[in-house]
Amino acid sequence: MVAPTDYPYSIQGGDKPRPYIKQNKIMTQPLNRTHLETLLKQEEQLFHKNHPKSFELYQRARKSLHGGVPMLWMIRWAGSFPIFAKEAKGAHFTDVDGNSYIDFCLGDTGAMTGHAPEATVKAITEQIQKGITLMLPFEDVIWVGEELQRRFKLPYWQFALTATDANRFALRMARHITGRPKILVFNYCYHGSVDETFITMDEEGTPMSRPNNMGPQIDPRETSKVIEFNDIGALETALSARDVAAVLAEPVMTNIGIIHPKPGYHDALRELTRKYGTYLIIDETHTISTGPGGYTASHGLQPDFLTLGKPLAGGVPAAIYGFTEEVSQAFTAKLSVEDSDVGGIGGTLAGNALSIAAMKATLQNVLTEEFYTKAIALQTF
């Protein structure tokens, strides 16, 4: 078995001492990189031996797919080539070589409730016979809107296909209403491929584009401000210029390890955003794991907008954004439906019948109170 020779990624770094923690002390000791290289090679050979069919498919895929994968980040998973999946059910999947896995990734929460939940599969199988996308509302969309109202206590809802888009549309609405150019995000947040969010700080705290940010449309310093989560002083300074349309925040940061809010932080965030006329968008895409109404319902948050995607339709592309009565009225007041260029908030397939059927079935039968009771009990020890 020959390992691929032109695999584009290799072990980075020289023999610089790397810090590690021992008995609560930070120690430095040079890593034995030669030994590491040997171990990695052994693992790669074993990986190759156990995944011959995946390797074969990868070779074929490289002739038609850039990098041999549908999305470039898939090549960055561990192993010298990607595993090709065959099928998935519940918490398990199998690959094309017949290896079976417990899936701790679960589609990065897209399959949070397990792969192919029965109720969702049944609903989409039925809906698919009756039409997939029409650019017209289906009655079930009202059921979904009413259910979202009940869970998140926000009166109005709109649909998108991805959480990225839900965030982008909420940001557009916030900018449209306030007329303000900037948004504020937390350092190393992730809200999907929303251009404005790829901003960080250098060691002196000066904002800069995230290193290796691929092809930013515009320097994110022109569109965004960035501060550390939990820093109330920095929040007030950033908002006090009154040029920030919205703060886009996960209620708990989940994409840079997990950073919980300090006690009182959410109160301060709400108070200061109100004080300076900035909208607060809470992105529940991952924190929906907290409960049926996400972190927002379980901790009594009061966002102006709430966004959510990924697990909402059991893995079928679907996302939502909801907002308050005040937002709805302010937006309507600033809108002339006949004259507006509404193309920037949209998506031809958004709210399609298949997504709506999947959302309804998932909310009704999968992401239920009982599911959360069971799932949370399993995580508590």
What does the binding site for ligand PLP look like in residue numbers (CB under 6 A)?
Answer: 108, 162-164, 190-192, 250, 255, 283, 285-286, 309-310
How far apart are CB 283 and ligand PLP at their closest, in Å? 5
Min dist. Cβ of residue 340 to ligand PLP (A): 25
Please identify, using beta-carbon distances, which residue of 266 and 286 lies nearer to ligand PLP. 286
The phi, psi pair for 56, rounded to 5°, reads -60, -45
CB nearer to ligand PLP: pick between 330 and 363: 363
Complex with ligand PLP: residue 255 or 298, whichever CB lies closer = 255
DSSP 21-74: EETTEEEEEE--HHHHHHHHHHHHHHHHHH-HHHHHHHHHHTTTSGGGSSSGGG
| Dist. CA 243–CA 378, nearest whole Å | 45
Least distance from ligand PLP to the Cβ atom of residue 244, Å: 19
| Separation CA 59–CA 40 (nearest Å) | 21
The one-letter amino acid code at 307 reads T
Minimum CB distance to ligand PLP, residue 62 (Å): 24
CB of 308 to ligand PLP, least distance (A): 8
- Residue among 250, 300, 299, 303 nearest 279 (CA): 303
Which residue number, 149 or 255, has a Cβ lying nearer to ligand PLP? 255
Separation of alpha carbons 191 and 63, rounded Å = 32
φ/ψ (deg, to 5) at 373 = -60, -45
Nearest residue to ligand PLP by CB is 192
Residue with Cβ nearer ligand PLP (196 or 250)? 250
Q: Distance between CA atoms of 293 and 152, rounded to whole angstroms?
A: 5
Report the Cα 233 to chain-centroid distance in Å.
Answer: 27
Alpha-carbon dihedral angle through residues 39, 43, 107, 250, given to the nearest 10 degrees: 0
Give Cα separations from 242 to 179, 197, 269, 275, 350 (angstroms): 11, 19, 15, 10, 33
Of the two residues 95 and 250, which places its CB atom closer to ligand PLP in the complex? 250
C-alpha to C-alpha distance for 320 and 305, rounded to whole angstroms: 10
Rg over CA atoms, the chain: 23
**Looking at beta carbons only, is 191 or 360 nearer to ligand PLP?**
191
Running DSSP on this structure, what letter comes out for residue 356?
H
Question: Closer to ligand PLP at the Cβ: 111 or 330?
Answer: 111
C-beta closer to ligand PLP: residue 161 or 177: 161
Q: Give least dist CB 65 to ligand PLP, A.
A: 19
Q: How far is the CB of 320 from ligand PLP (least distance, A)?
A: 12
CB 270 within 8 A of CB 299: no
Taking the complex as a whole, the smallest distance from the CB of residue 184 to ligand PLP amounts, in Å, to 16
Q: How far is the CB of 129 from ligand PLP (least distance, A)?
A: 27
